[in-house]
Amino acid sequence: MHRQPLLQLLRQHVPADANEAAMTAQTIAFVEANPACFERSLQTGHVTGSAWILSPDPSTTNVPEEPKALLIHHRKLDRWFQPGGHADGNPDVQAVARQEAEEETGLTNLRLASPQIFDVDIHPIPARNEGTADAIPAHLHYDIRFQYFSNDQILLGENREVKNTQWVTLDEAERLSDSESISRMVRKSRI
């Protein structure tokens, strides 16, 4: 029921390569097998939503210009990523991606590029606070990414989850993140 819209989007998704195809198949199997897949209380892993934000918005400018990507520096993981986060029970993963992007960047004028999934990634999250009452075991994020555009360059300052936000060239995005996940989205953005 509540998982069907996501499963439909996942089955319609056209992966960029064999690696993403495998992660898409694994995500479908995970969502089918876990009714609580949208809850972070599912300790083996859970669905998350992310936003790959590019500027300028090609629908508002005729000037060809290489886009810039918006990255956040994640406070707990001390790495650069695209904005995103936990679904916390919300099965509308695109809405999750947008909400997380707005909260983490301060941008509110985001335009969804397509209602289709832009990218699928599965990545491990390390254990935190081991041996304490609020310990979080190592688990997987089944990350569903949507592409957005924004012409707004004004960003929110630091918040509790984000140390920094930056508009960067696509080349800089690859260097800052040093992640195949980001590199794949960069390659998709250049097509």
56: cis peptide before it, omega within 30°?
yes
Give the domain range for residue 33: 4-186
Note the pTM of the prediction, 2 decimals: 0.92
Is 191 inside any structural domain? no
Q: Report the number of distinct structural domains present in the chain.
A: 1
Coil/strand/helix, residue 174: helix
Within a 13 Å sphere around the CA of 191, how many CA atoms are in the beta-carbon half?
8
8 pLDDT higher than 60: yes
Does 20 fall in a domain?
yes
* 72 is a domain residue: yes
Q: What CATH number has the domain bearing residue 114?
A: 3.90.79.10
pLDDT at 85: 93
Dist. CA 99–CA 111, nearest whole Å: 13
CA distance 44 to 149: 33
Summarised one tens digit per residue, pLDDT across range 46-76 is 999 999 999 887 777 666 678 899 999 887 7
* Cα 180 to Cα 191: distance, rounded to the nearest angstrom: 17
| Alpha carbons 149 and 158: distance in angstroms, whole number | 22
